[in-house]
Chains A and B, each alone.
Chain A
Amino acid sequence: MHWNSFAEFLAMGNHAVYVWGSVGVMAVLMIAEPMLLVRGRKTLVARLKRQLRAEQHESVANRSTSNTHRSQA
């Protein structure tokens, strides 16, 4: 271990702003990217399912019960 104390680690030899500024932004963006992807994917799947249900609803009217069941799963 290179550091003697946690405070020293945080201070980064008076370069704390620069080092932690880099680490912080990089961490935020690299966490935000997958989160945005997951969210985008969820909305897409929901939208596609809705469209699919609407189509199926048009063609076969009596399937609506099983579809509601599916959307909850």
Chain B
Amino acid sequence: MTDRVINWYKYASPQTFYPLAGKLIPWFWALAALFGIAGLTIGFLIAPTDAQQGEGYRIIFLHVPASWLSMFIYLVMAFWAGIGLAFNIRLSGMMASALAPTGALFAFLSLWTGALWGKPMWGTWWVWDARLTSELILLFLYIGFIALQAAIDDPRRADKAGAILALVGVVNIPIIYFSVKWWNTLHQGASVSLTKAPSMAAMMLWGMLLCALACWMYSIAIALMRVRTIMLERERHTDWVRALLSGNGHDTSRHP
């Protein structure tokens, strides 16, 4: 048991995590490519036409994974932020900062693909649908988190302030979603809802799941890449970064 604890703390130190992340990144890229090719092949080449929505429905293979990831990444980000705050682990705070831009990217992509899906399906780029609205607010929350961390110079304070904001955000997301849904049911005349998706063929579901997995692996790879950069930047005065930079320089430049 104690061994395990020691191990855990060992990998939580930037010095050990840095090379480990470097080794893992190519694997996650490979998985992302594999799942992505499989998912897109099924989604765009094999899956049948949707009876109601024609070929335009194929945006679902991008839209749904992007939405899932945008929400999931916020949860993971808040989880790391909370761990970092509770146990004072530097790596956790760095992970949270590394995840935020990718989460914001997926939130944006979800809105973008949602708009491009809405135009042919509903005849309008934007509807104040409960889900789209919540997604927009989620993007605002990401932007707030990134802006707050960017405005604070001291990285330790930035981590902690960001962690508090992320946790407050997580508590608020269900409240916001509920309130938006409530508001939506009161105001919406025509019922255009993404919830009532037509019974989905198994093939479509597979395509969607594979694409979501691809996005997930992509996010992990990107987060690891970004956390490595953050580590170098923040730990630049420590011995291990100095050794890395001056000693075996090829190791740092070899890998993205």
Contact = CB atoms under 8 A, between A and B. Distances in A.
Contacts of B56: 12-13, 15, 18-19
Interface stretch (B76-84, B109-117, B180-188): B109-117
Nearest to A73: B249
B54 A13 contact: yes
A73 B252 CA distance: 11
Interface size class of B (residues with CB under 8 A): 35 or more
B131 interface: no
A61 interface: no
Contacts of B102: 33
B59 interface: yes
Nearest to B25: A34
A66 to B, nearest CB: 10
B49 A2 contact: yes
| Max chain A Cβ within 10 angstroms of own Cβ: one of B108, B241, B252 | B252
Interface string B116-139: 110110000000000000000000
Interface in A1-33: 1-3, 9, 12-15, 17-19, 21-23, 25-26, 29-30, 33
A22 B45 contact: no
A56 interface: yes
Interface in B81-115: 101-102, 105, 108-109, 112-113
A1 to B, nearest CB: 6
Interface size class of A (residues with CB under 8 A): 20 to 34
B55 A15 contact: yes
A1 B42 CA distance: 9
A2 B232 CA distance: 48
A22 B229 contact: no
B116 A52 contact: no
Contacts of B253: 42, 45
Most buried by A among B55, B59, B120, B249: B55
Contact of A15 (B62, B109, B120, B256): B120
A12 B56 CA distance: 7
Contacts of A21: 116
Given A19-B58, A19-B59, A30-B218, A44 B232 contact: yes
A15 B58 CA distance: 10
A37 B226 contact: yes
B109 A52 contact: no
